[in-house]
Amino acid sequence: MKTSDFNFDLPAELLAEHPSEHRDEARLMVLNRKTETIEHKLFKDVVDYFDEKDLFIFNNTKVFPARLYGNKEKTGAKIEVFLLRELDKETRVWDVLVDPARKIRIGNKLFFTEDESLVAEVIDNTTSRGRTLRFLFDGSYDEFRTKLKELGETPLPKYIKRAVEPEDAERYQTIYAKVEGAVAAPTAGLHFSKHLMKKLEIKGIDFAEVTLHVGLGTFNPIEVEDLSKHKMESEEIIIDEKNAEIINKAVEAHRRVCAVGTTTMRALETSVSSNKKISAFNGWTNKFIYPPHDFGVANSMITNFHTPKSTLLMMIAAFAGKDFIMHAYEEAVKEKYKFYSYGDAMLIL
């Protein structure tokens, strides 16, 4: 398989700048892998495709406000700092991306507040835009994290050209988000409303949760033509015993098991054993799923519409069949479905 096999023309106006007015009223394209048929629905119709004791598996990661703006000492130049991951809680050392990167060197200091209560010192270079920062803050760890939240902005993807709006803090977060650690939302889950969750519950559908902290690697373009040479960035996964057991029971009972989002699917495929059992897992994954791939847990999935040549498109092509997916995407463009983080959804059965 080559990267160019997953290219298609995506008109710029189909990239969603805003979410749908109501979470569960985004459009839903339903793909049936057996019959290779396509239906056009609304997201809230998803309830009609599942029965009692079927299982939805959600990624309960929570997005933190990862985008900060500081000023460089002496010059006062405005620098964007994107928090990627905390490396050391005690010393307050973080991996970040900086923009513009050419101005930021080891030893530079960045000031985030007028009163200089939050300052960061650049202690290392990691990649072309990557830096390691040590934050200097006179207060407890909890106060430090509170300060980061106060100053931070919802990390909307770069393709959204507008300024961050107050509603983004709520809408770029799933309603079941619990475990803070993601710098991008697991977007398939953004379509679930409290009302829809209640309807699924009333129907007797079971829920399980896994945690995969989405990193910026999810947006990284593939720079190689040969997919076997692409390296995914690592993301952290946590699956506890209780949820592993719920998932294994549904698989054993041959229920419909639905992975909500590519991040959930990645977590499941990382932690499944050769006998199709999920084990409790606490670690990191750099698993890259592309055709052909034998999926061990979920037999259905919900996902958004992805951009050309993306690793996310490759995963769903592995799940639904490449030709069928590329045909569905042609249809989506023709029918003007909205793409990407705030876009419409697809259910693959």
315 HSE (CA, 13 A, CB side): 27
Query: Do the Cβ atoms of 172 and 154 come closer than 8 Å?
Result: yes
Q: Please, what CATH class does the domain formed by 3-63+169-348 belong to?
A: alpha beta
- Displacement of CA 303 from its chain's centroid (Å): 10
pLDDT-based confidence at residue 158 (cuts at 50, 70, 90): confident
- What contacts 24+ positions apart, CB below 8 Å, involve 225-230? 225/2, 225/3, 225/4, 226/2, 226/3, 227/1, 227/2, 227/3, 227/288, 227/290, 227/314, 230/3, 230/288, 230/311
Question: How far, in whole angstroms, is CA 116 from its chain's centroid?
Answer: 33
* DSSP β-ladder status, 118-125 and 130-137: antiparallel
Q: Cβ contacts of residue 207 below 8 Å, gap of 6+?
A: 55, 56, 57, 58, 200, 201
Is it the case that residue 274 has pLDDT exceeding 90? no
Structure confidence at residue 103 (pLDDT): 85
- Give the per-residue pLDDT at 126: 87
Residue 16: pLDDT band with limits 50, 70, 90: very high
Q: What residue ranges do the domains of the chain occupy?
A: 3-63+169-348, 67-151
Q: Residue 36 pLDDT > 80, yes or no?
A: yes
Give the tokens for residue 270: 């990382």
Beta strand residue intervals within 141-280, DSSP E:
179-182, 206-213, 235-239, 257-260
pLDDT at res. 197: 98
Between strands 93-99 and 257-260, the pairing is unpaired
In the chain, the N- to C-terminal Cα span, in Å, equals 24
Residues 6+ apart with CB under 8 A from 99: 79, 80, 82, 129
Mean pLDDT, the chain, whole residue set: 95
- Give yes or no for residue 330 having a pLDDT over 80: yes
- Residue 214 tokens read as 């989405």
3-63+169-348 and 67-151 have identical folds: no
**pLDDT score of 127:** 78
301-325 residue pLDDT tens:
999 999 999 999 999 999 999 999 9
> Is residue 138 predicted with pLDDT exceeding 80?
yes
The tens digit of pLDDT for each residue in 73-99 reads 989 999 999 999 899 999 999 999 999
Q: pTM for this one? A: 0.94
327: left (phi over 0), alpha (psi -120 to 50) or beta: alpha
Q: Which residue has the higher pLDDT, 234 or 39?
A: 39
165-181: average pLDDT: 96
For residues 183 and 220, the answer to whether their CB atoms sit within 8 Å is no
Q: pLDDT for 183-242, tens place per residue?
A: 999 999 999 999 999 999 999 999 999 999 998 877 778 999 999 999 998 999 999 999
pLDDT reported for residue 216: 80
CA distance 192 to 176: 9
Q: Does domain 67-151 have CATH number 3.40.50.620?
A: no
CA distance 27 to 345: 6
Residue 53, CA distances (Å) to 18, 50, 162, 254 in order: 34, 9, 42, 10
